[in-house]
Structure 1
Amino acid sequence: MTLDDLPPLRDTLDGHGLIAKKSFGQHFLFDLNITRKIARLAGVGAGDHVIEVGPGPGGLTRALLETGAQVTAIEKDPRFLPLLEELAQASGGALTVHLDDALTADEAALAAGGPTAVVSNLPYNVGTPLLIKWLTGRFQPISLTLMFQKEVAERIVAAPGSDAYGRLAVIAQATADAKLVMEVSPRAFTPPPKVTSAVVHLVPHAARLDQALLDALQTITAAAFGQRRKMLRSSLKQLGGESLCEKARIDPSRRAETLDVEEFLSLAKAI
């Protein structure tokens, strides 16, 4: 059996008697036109290595395999292993499946030192912590093409001064070039979520921030946006407040949402 011989995803799910689990934030994407577009936006092709989180029945996985990429799938729900094993056999060995929790998985080990892209329709309930993990941990992907709730996607690419601008935007933009590249209607999913989804493409900066600075940036942004309505002299009081701001040459009467990414990096360097 080859990829072309596989039955439609809906038939495969019905044949195995599987439905989405709400506790895992599962929403299945069956439309191959959409999954193929995501694969194209990711820019992956023959011989590339891709890590996919939460493949479920394998809709996006099929599209990635069609490009000729080598795919490593991390799936937490054991119900999907038989479906994914069938897909692995049809791929001729291009798909490897790991039963694991992506929040604790060692992607650096799975990448084995080679260039690796991440392409995923992420479970809604773990999308943000996974992105932070990939941008600030020891795993260094060459790109990330990820589907989130549209609201979360907009927070990733938000500009200073906007309502969506916050900690997620600062960390994402301090570590990568981020662009919202596609929106996906709830009607494209089974079961349909209550919100629109969106795909964000991120390319990590070539010059990676050192770990101490990344840790300091997370500390600063957590404090500043944890009390975003307060002036920095108050929200950063436990970290030095006014004296810290003066050291970074930033007016302590300003509020977090007015600072750009470089100014947050200045604060992080100051501690």
Structure 2
Amino acid sequence: MRAKKSLGQNFLRDEAVSERIVAALDIVTEDTVIEIGPGQGALTTFLVERAKRVIAIEFDRDLISPLRVQFHTNPNLELLNADALSVDFRELAPDGTKLKLVANLPYNISTPILQRLIEHRLCFSQIVLMFQREVVERITARPATKERGFLSVLVEDAFETETLFDVPPTAFWPVPKVWSSVIRLRPKEEVFPDAAAFRKLLSAAFAQKRKTILNNLRGFSPDIEPALSSAVIDSRRRAETLTLDEWHRLAGLICATFDRDTY
């Protein structure tokens, strides 16, 4: 099966890497595991050996039939031809059982997938994802680093993150030009309570990274200057320098008076 450039497909071919990724999920025999983008079944092969139930969500309908043939002897595998961005993960565990999730994801859907997983984070006990290394560096970036951005803060608010290992281009076909990295996410029970307002604040604050936080947020709220002062945040700082605690303080002050109809 030829990879589709339009879908950003690079199929994982390295068995050792596949097994290592699956091992990072710490699967026990009663687990239900969600796989996004099974592709040619590199991870699926190891998942069906370990988990009680595997639900593989594949967007590319041309891959569904080959996967059904490949795994026809594995009754614990369910294949869904669907867009993971529209799947309600809560419906896959109606009894409240915590799911585990694994995925090898293309660059072009990294942000929307992460936002979807944040929204449904309490469905999962842990998540293991493989992205381009550049994306993982952005996700895990600490304050005052150049990689720090909207996605860094959004993920830090929702998950404990751990970068596990790097994967060379030769592990895939077609061979990409960049390295990949594997990251593990463990959901936090408590996040900023108004998720929509928090995303809106972060999006505005990081809109132009060379500007100060005051300049980026002037149009967001008329109360930005007193809010920064009350949160003990220098208005001359840039968004990437703020810690998660500082974001929570600022968001708590601003979002309480923010017009909900505008987001």
Same fold (TM over 0.5): yes
**Secondary structure at 2:184 match in 1:** strand
Could you tell me which of 116, 137, 148 is aligned with 2:99?
A: 116
Matched, 1:103 2:85: yes
Asked whether the 8 Å contact 1:44–1:69 carries over to 2, the reply is no
Within a 5 Å distance, the mapping from 1:132-143 to structure 2 comes to 132-137=115-120, 140-143=123-126
Asked whether the 8 Å contact 1:107–1:139 carries over to 2, the reply is no
- Of the structure 1 ranges 182-191 and 219-228, higher mean CA displacement relative to structure 2 is found in 219-228
Post-superposition Cα deviations, 1:223-258, rounded to whole Å, max 9, x if no partner, equal: 111122111211110123312312333221211111
Deviation of residue 137 (structure 1)? Answer: 4.2
**Secondary structure at 2:117 match in 1:** helix
**Secondary structure at 1:103 match in 2:** helix
Query: Structure 1: which 5+ runs fail to align?
Result: 1-17
Q: Give the paired residue count.
A: 251
**In the aligned structure 2, how far is the partner of 1:198 from the partner of 1:220?**
29
Query: Structure 2: which 5+ runs fail to align?
Result: 256-263
Deviation of residue 209 (structure 1)? Answer: 4.1
What TM-score does the superposition give when structure 2 sets the normalisation length? Answer: 0.90
Post-superposition Cα deviations, 1:182-215, rounded to whole Å, max 9, x if no partner, equal: 11000110001111000110001133443x2x22
Q: More helix per residue: 1 or 2? A: 1
- Of the structure 1 ranges 127-136 and 157-166, higher mean CA displacement relative to structure 2 is found in 127-136
Letter in 1 for 2:212: M
What TM-score does the superposition give when structure 1 sets the normalisation length? Answer: 0.88
Asked whether the 8 Å contact 2:106–2:132 carries over to 1, the reply is no
Distance 1:137 1:66, change over 3 A: closer
**Secondary structure at 1:268 match in 2:** helix
Asked whether the 8 Å contact 1:54–1:123 carries over to 2, the reply is no
Could you tell me which of 202, 224, 227 is aligned with 1:221?
A: 202
Distance 1:248 1:39, change over 3 A: same
- State the partner residue of 1:57: 40
- State the partner residue of 2:259: none
Matched, 1:249 2:232: yes
Cα RMSD (Å): 1.5
Which consecutive segments of 4 or more residues in structure 1 shift more than 3 A? none
**In the aligned structure 2, how far is the partner of 1:139 from the partner of 1:98?**
22
Post-superposition Cα deviations, 1:124-148, rounded to whole Å, max 9, x if no partner, equal: 3212210111113476321110000
Within a 5 Å distance, the mapping from 1:152-231 to structure 2 comes to 152-210=135-193, 212=194, 214-231=195-212
**Secondary structure at 1:182 match in 2:** strand
**Secondary structure at 1:246 match in 2:** helix
Letter in 1 for 2:244: V
- State the partner residue of 2:260: none
Matched, 1:94 2:76: yes
- Of the structure 1 ranges 104-113 and 93-102, higher mean CA displacement relative to structure 2 is found in 104-113
- State the partner residue of 1:85: 68
- State the partner residue of 1:5: none
Deviation of residue 48 (structure 1)? Answer: 0.6
Matched, 1:23 2:16: no
